[in-house]
A = this chain, B = another copy of it.
């Protein structure tokens, strides 16, 4: 980095990521990001090609972090315990990064975003194969991901307006869904 640098791509991405959570995607302006890193708007274009390029970089950052967190959560050797831990980490990540999490599942919103979805699913598929048997690996994984993703999406939207205890609903659902996809239940 040359001598007169007052900011960096990493700082721009970090500020963008923080502001994305504070203000939402369509109200995040380049000017906001510039203010946050202490430069004027035009200087950002030395770091990122465009606004959507910034979003692409933010999503890459978020996805890498989530992948690492998931991989680090699966260490016990027992697939049920590991899947519980992965689900918990996944949910915690969504709570900490709600806007970015939502964006991860709307790839069309960020042109050119190459989701690194596949990498983070390696661990998941391995655990599910152990639990459900290899012949049911794919639909079992999709069922588990659908449930977790749906639960979190509704929760983040504040849309569990049916009432009831939300933690109890999570524990109940996780327990039942894990049992449901287990080997030998068909």
Structural contact, B105 and A157, CB atoms closer than 8 A: yes
Complex Cα–Cα for A142 and B162 (A): 8
Check A173 for interface membership: any CB of B closer than 8 A: yes
Interface of A is mostly: helix
Check A140 for interface membership: any CB of B closer than 8 A: yes
Q: Chain A residues in contact with chain B, CB under 8 A?
A: 26, 105-108, 115, 117-118, 121, 125, 136, 138-143, 145-151, 153-154, 157-165, 168-169, 172-173, 176-177, 179-181, 185
Complex Cα–Cα for A94 and B142 (A): 18
A183 → chain B closest CB, angstroms: 12
Q: Given A106-B157, A143-B147, A146-B173, output 11 extra A-B contacts at Cβ < 8 Å.
A: A26-B26, A117-B159, A117-B161, A125-B162, A136-B172, A142-B173, A143-B169, A143-B172, A143-B173, A145-B150, A176-B185
